[in-house]
Structure 1
Amino acid sequence: MTDIQLWTALITPMKEDGSIHFKNLDEIISRQEEAGNGILVLGSTGEGLALAHNEKKEIVDFISDRGNSVPIMVGVGGFNLKTQTDWISYCNEKNIESFLLVNPLYSKPGLKGQFEWFKSLMDVSDKPCMIYNIPSRTGVKLFPEVLQQLKHHGNLWAVKEASGSISEFQEFRKAVPSIPLFSGDDGLMPFFATAGGSGLVSVASNIWPKETKLYVEKSLKGDTASLFPIWTDAVKALFSASNPIPLKVLMKEKGLIERSVLRSPLTNEELSSTDHLRASDEAIINWYQLNK
Structure 2
Amino acid sequence: MWRRIISTEGGRGLLLISPPFFYALALLAVPLGAIVLFSFWTQDFVTVDTTFTLNNYREIAEKPIYGVLLQRSLFVSACVTLVTVVLAFPVAYFVSFHVRPERKSLWLFLITIPFWTSYLIRVFLWKVILGYNGVINSGLMKMGLIDEPLTFILYNVNAVIITLAHAFAPFAILPIFVALEKIDRSLLEASQDLGESKIMTFFRITLPLSMPGLVAAVLIVFIPTIGDYVTPELMGGAGGKLIANMIQTQFLALNNAPLGAALAVVAMLSVTAISLAFVLLNIRWLKGRS
Please indicate, yes or no, whether the TM-score normalized by the shorter chain is above 0.5.
no
Q: Report the TM range for the smaller structure's normalisation.
A: under 0.3
The structure with the largest alpha-carbon Rg is 2
Tell which has more relative contact order, 1 or 2 (C-alpha 8 A, sep 6+).
Answer: 2
Higher strand proportion (structure 1 or 2)? 1
Higher helix proportion (structure 1 or 2)? 2
